[in-house]
């Protein structure tokens, strides 16, 4: 059985493809999931893709990733990236490596997006490459 990579997505990512496509691209979260699943098979990995608009779900899923023995977590926490001490603490509280993922480059956007509480706890960050950010993060997860 292949190792599992959790791919956790936060608020408003269910709107990908229609929400500000000039920033986030035209691909939907389902499109990205399909790309990840295809590449994961090539890497002998499995993807467990989830999305929630609720911070507590993301915290619970981080805990679940560790409890289930997941190899790594790719986390696009959306706006919670900049505000969630709870996600920061959950990442610090588990041994499973977490890779922060962003479609856009937060440092090229509004100043409130320049601080990442998630990134301060994560193993690394991939940002600014649209949907490719997820695939690059998956490549990293396959090597750690």
Catalytic residues: 24, 102
Task: Look at the alpha carbons of 127, 131, 136, 138 in this order and tell me if their dihedral is positive or negative.
Answer: positive
* Beta-carbon-side half-sphere exposure of residue 26 (alpha carbons within 13 Å): 0
Q: In which residue are the tokens 């507590």 written?
A: 56
**Which token pair is 127?**
């940002």
Q: Is 80 in contact with 118 (CB distance < 8 Å)?
A: yes
């Amino acid at each position: 059985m292949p190792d599992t990579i959790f791919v956790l997505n936060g608020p408003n990512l269910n709107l990908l493809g229609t929400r500000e496509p000039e920033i986030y691209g035209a691909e939907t979260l389902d499109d990205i999931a399909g790309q990840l699943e295809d590449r994961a098979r090539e890497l002998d990995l499995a993807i467990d893709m989830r999305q929630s608009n609720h911070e507590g779900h993301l915290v619970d899923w981080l805990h679940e990733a560790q409890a289930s023995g997941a190899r790594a977590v790719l986390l696009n926490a959306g706006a919670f990236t900049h505000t969630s001490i709870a996600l920061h603490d959950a990442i610090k509280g588990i041994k499973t490596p977490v890779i922060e993922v962003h479609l856009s480059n937060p440092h090229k956007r509004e100043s409130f997006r320049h601080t990442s509480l998630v990134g301060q706890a994560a193993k690394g960050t991939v940002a600014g490459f649209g949907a490719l950010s997820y695939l690059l993060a998956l490549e990293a997860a396959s090597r750690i």
